[in-house]
Amino acid sequence: MVKAAVMVGPGAPVEVREFPTPRLEEGAALLRTLYSEVCGTDVHLHAGHLAGVPYPLIPGHVNVGEIAEIRGRVVDLNGDPLREGQVVTFLDVHETCGHCWFCTVAKASTRCPQRRVYGITYSAEEGLLGGWAEMVYLKPGVKILPLPEEVPPERFIGAGCGLPTAMHALERAEIALGDTVVVQGSGPVGLSCAILAQLSGATEVIVIGGPEARLAQARRIGADLTLDITTTGAEERLEQVLARTHGRGADVTIEATGVPQAVNEGLALTRDAGRYVIVGQYTDVGDIQVNPHRDINRKHLEIRGSWGSDFSHFWRGLRVLAKHGERYRWEEFVSGRYGLEEADRALADVREQRAVKAIIDPRK
């Protein structure tokens, strides 16, 4: 039998249930979970903020584990056969069709209507398809990536899904060498954005967020200035950013907060003819008012959304971890490890922002 933490419905306590050990179909693999993560999406899932979620489900969309069993020939992206005992991760997004209008014409596979996501759009009734479990069933066709030797599992999961999400946002941000970048939000996505902004050539990175434990991480990874939303007002923050940019504002601002009102502030913080990337508004938590003349048109502002991530962001993220992992030590974002029985406490700690990064360790 395999134990898994199951989200039975919005607001209900997470239950640990037992599932039969699955029999593998041809081309499938079974992963023995080392770590899964608790990300903001899981908090939204638990609050019932996402539409069409097939409760009950096993959460956990970014995972790392050891291959316990393989049936038939299963290869990685380079065509190399995978073997039992290997430490791997896999792309949570599965069954992106490659044939629909979004896949082929828009080349925006994150909007493919066929896509299924481990830990989000699969029900527990369909099998062990989420990482808050001792084992994860990797269906044929799931994109599996061995962890590079330089990347310990703890570091990989410390970066978690925040890293590929940030990789996508940074691609959208098109930062130039010498830019001043403001990152709104100091959760896992914001922190990875602050790292990638530096790697992209930004010479001044300002992180706005809180609480202090998260801002301490922002300074550790090289933020030039942190502004705590719990002790400063929006006016004061704007003044500070203007003071460091000769009164112009940031060249690029990246929103990673999940709070709609942060967008008003972000528009103000960005310079005329600058760029604003919105990545943190993953669920619908309300409307805001903007002045289209003052905030967008007269500013000649470019505003871009960034939704989810695809395999390229995942793959490139792993390369970044292999090259820059020692310098930024993503594993230090992990502020708590929780067993399957402690999933509710993990969700609460992420929701209340007591955690920087909470991870699930089914072996605990």
* Number of residues in contact with Zn ion under rule CB under 5 A: 7
Q: Residue 135: exposed, middle, or buried by beta-carbon count in 10 A (0-12, 13-18, 19+)? A: buried
Residue 96 phi/psi, 5-degree rounding, is -60, 130
For the record, the structure tokens of 206 come out as: 């300002």
Sheet of strand 204-209, all strands in order from the earlier edge strand to the far edge? 225-228, 204-209, 180-184, 250-255, 270-278, 302-305
Cα separation, 216 vs 223, whole angstroms = 9
Cα separation, 209 vs 191, whole angstroms = 10
**Least distance to Zn ion, CB of residue 195, Å:** 17
Judged by beta carbon, residue 74 or residue 161, the one nearer Zn ion is 161
The interface region with Zn ion, picked from 35-43, 245-253, 268-276, 297-305 by CB under 5 A, is 35-43
The interface region with Zn ion, picked from 18-26, 33-41, 79-87, 177-185 by CB under 5 A, is 33-41
Rule CB under 5 A: is residue 41 a binding residue for Zn ion? yes
The interface region with Zn ion, picked from 22-30, 85-93, 159-167, 258-266 by CB under 5 A, is 159-167
Other C-beta atoms closer than 10 Å to the C-beta of 96 total: 22
Nearest-5° Cα angle at 40, 129 to 353? 135
For Zn ion, the binding residues in 81-100 under the rule CB under 5 A are 97, 100
Contact with Zn ion (CB under 5 A) among 43, 133, 161, 169? 161
**Least distance to Zn ion, CB of residue 212, Å:** 24
**Least distance to Zn ion, CB of residue 125, Å:** 22
For Zn ion, the binding residues in 99-128 under the rule CB under 5 A are 100, 103, 112
The interface region with Zn ion, picked from 155-163, 187-195, 207-215, 318-326 by CB under 5 A, is 155-163
**What sections of 200-233 are H helices per DSSP?**
212-220
Rule CB under 5 A: is residue 39 a binding residue for Zn ion? yes
Give every CB contact of residue 72 below 8 A, 6+ residues apart in sequence: 26, 27, 28
Q: Given the rule CB under 5 A, which residues bind Zn ion?
A: 39, 41, 97, 100, 103, 112, 161
